[in-house]
Amino acid sequence: MDARLNYFASPTAGKVLKYFMSTGKAFKESPLPAVTQELVALRVSQINGCAACIDMHTKEAAAAGETAVRLNLVVAWREATVFTEAERAALELAEQGTRVADAAEGVSDEAWAYAAKHYDEEQLTTLVILVSFMNAVNRLNIITRQPAGDYEPGQLH
């Protein structure tokens, strides 16, 4: 499958995406645990059906030591016993933040309180920006049909 656009060949995309993608690098310096970041990025990408991001975040998480069992169970995290309460709170916030059009209230007060119980304000800020960032990146990739399967861990860092 070929992508509809090659972002790397576009002067406009080059200018915009240089700054946009630097956001992703800033997450690495945040206090939100790296494993949580990868699980959230993976879950948002699964919901949106972004194959390129699922490929990337599955491989990045595995390279960081995440187990195959946990990666395979992200899609069914509610029924899985392998996630911490903090990770479950982050995944719930990520799902509600991604499915804002599916619910009249967007992110519920309960989901917010659950996340706030496990993360401080800086971590919550990172989590909210990460969910929003991943939704935007997913759309960039889905609209242009970016292919998946060839990503190598560390490729975009």
The answer to whether 20 and 32 have CB atoms below 8 angstroms apart is: no
Q: pLDDT tier at 99 (50, 70, 90 boundaries)?
A: very high
Is residue 73 within 8 Å of 82, Cβ to Cβ?
yes
Between the alpha carbon of residue 94 and those of residues 15, 39, 48, 71, 107, the distances in Å are 28, 10, 12, 16, 9
39 neighbors 95 (Cβ within 8 angstroms): no
Predicted confidence at residue 23, as pLDDT, reads: 85
Residue 5 lies in a domain: no
- The reply to whether 116 falls in a domain is yes
| 112 falls within a domain | yes
Q: Which range is most confident: 9-13, 58-62, 148-152?
A: 58-62
Q: What is the band of 115 on the pLDDT scale with cuts at 50, 70, 90? A: very high
Confirm if 40 and 134 have CB atoms less than 8 A apart.
Answer: yes
Give residue 95's Cα distance to chain centre. Answer: 10
- Rounded average pLDDT over 132-143: 95
What is the pTM (predicted TM-score) of this model? 0.92
Q: Cα(94)–Cα(18) distance, rounded to whole angstroms?
A: 25
pLDDT at 157: 64
Residue 88 has pLDDT above 90, yes or no: yes
By residue range, what is the domain housing residue 128?
34-143
**CATH code for the domain of 124:** 1.20.1290.10
Q: What is the tally of structural domains in the chain?
A: 1
156 domain-assigned: no
Residue 96 resides in a domain = yes
How far is Cα 50 from Cα 101, in angstroms, rounded to an integer?
18
Residue 20 lies in a domain: no
